[in-house]
């Protein structure tokens, strides 16, 4: 196995299609069956592990996968010690603070102490509001964040947006950007050293693709 690389890619969500396409351009094709977590590819040196985008940093940190493709937002949220060797340029979006349109707040620093903030990104959110000196109560949700303010569950949300349409449709407005995200190629720190030439080959192909 030592010569073989395992690349973890998202098995669903907005990053899945572009990640699969990128690998295809590099001549790395899986047999296409979605049911396999770990599958061989047309490149003998490369296996693909399909798992949740949010778990990819964990698989790479422990060295189960050598490389991984996932969003900068997820990498920051997990905060694990990894190499982040390439910005792949797709999956661009912003992590923003949003509130109901009728609220008077112009920027995140206007949000009152003790407000409730719903998010999937509790670590980033806590760091961000700690930095502003505002104590907030963080409500961790998994998806459908946009409805939290109108239902009275939260005063604000921290969520990803690429066009702003979903926020708009739910009567929300963005009042500040926390992070610009895009897909990144991450690498296990030990694999980078022990499988240097194989990884170098993949990254070169990826840059050219």
| 64 touches other proteins (CB under 8 A) | yes
Nearer to other proteins, 34 or 84 (CB): 84
Can you tell me which residue has the tokens 């964040």?
145
- 208: Cβ contacts below 8 Å, ≥ 6 apart: none
Minimum CB distance to other proteins, residue 98 (Å) = 25
Which residue in 86, 134, 139, 141 binds other proteins (CB under 8 A)?
Answer: 86
Going 53 to 55 to 60 to 66, the CA torsion angle's sign is negative
3-state helix, strand, coil in the chain (%, to 5): 35, 30, 35
| 204 touches other proteins (CB under 8 A) | no
Give the residue ranges of DSSP H helices in 26-176.
56-61, 72-78, 122-132, 147-150, 165-169
| 191 touches other proteins (CB under 8 A) | yes
| 189 touches other proteins (CB under 8 A) | yes
Residues between 23 and 62 that touch other proteins (CB under 8 A): 57-58, 61-62
Minimum CB distance to other proteins, residue 149 (Å) = 28
Separation of CA 95 from chain center: 10
Give the residue ranges of DSSP H helices in the chain.
16-25, 56-61, 72-78, 122-132, 147-150, 165-169, 189-194, 196-208
Residues between 124 and 183 that touch other proteins (CB under 8 A): none
Q: Which stretch binds other proteins (CB under 8 A): 18-26, 80-88, 93-101, 165-173?
A: 80-88
Which residue in 21, 31, 37, 63 binds other proteins (CB under 8 A)?
Answer: 63
Binding site for other proteins (CB under 8 A): 2, 57-58, 61-64, 78-87, 123, 184, 187-196
């Amino acid at each position: 196995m030592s010569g073989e690389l395992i690349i973890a890619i998202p098995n669903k969500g907005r990053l899945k299609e572009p990640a699969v396409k990128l690998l295809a351009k590099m001549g790395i094709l899986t047999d296409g069956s979605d049911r396999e977590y770990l599958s061989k590819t047309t490149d003998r040196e490369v296996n693909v592990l399909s798992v949740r985008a949010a778990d990819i940093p964990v698989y790479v940190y422990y060295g189960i996968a050598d490389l991984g493709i996932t969003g900068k937002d997820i990498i920051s949220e997990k905060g694990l010690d990894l190499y982040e060797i390439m910005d792949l340029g797709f999956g661009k979006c912003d992590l923003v603070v949003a509130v109901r349109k009728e609220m008077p707040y112009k920027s995140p620093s206007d949000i009152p102490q003790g407000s409730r903030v719903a998010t999937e990104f509790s670590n980033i959110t806590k760091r961000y509001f700690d930095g502003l000196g505002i104590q907030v109560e963080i409500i961790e949700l998994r998806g459908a964040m946009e409805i939290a303010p109108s239902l009275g569950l939260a005063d604000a949300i921290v969520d990803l947006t690429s066009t702003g349409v979903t926020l708009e449709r739910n009567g929300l407005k963005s009042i500040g950007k926390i992070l610009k995200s895009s897909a990144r190629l991450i690498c296990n720190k030990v694999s980078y050293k022990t499988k240097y030439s194989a990884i170098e080959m993949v990254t070169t192909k990826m840059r050219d693709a």
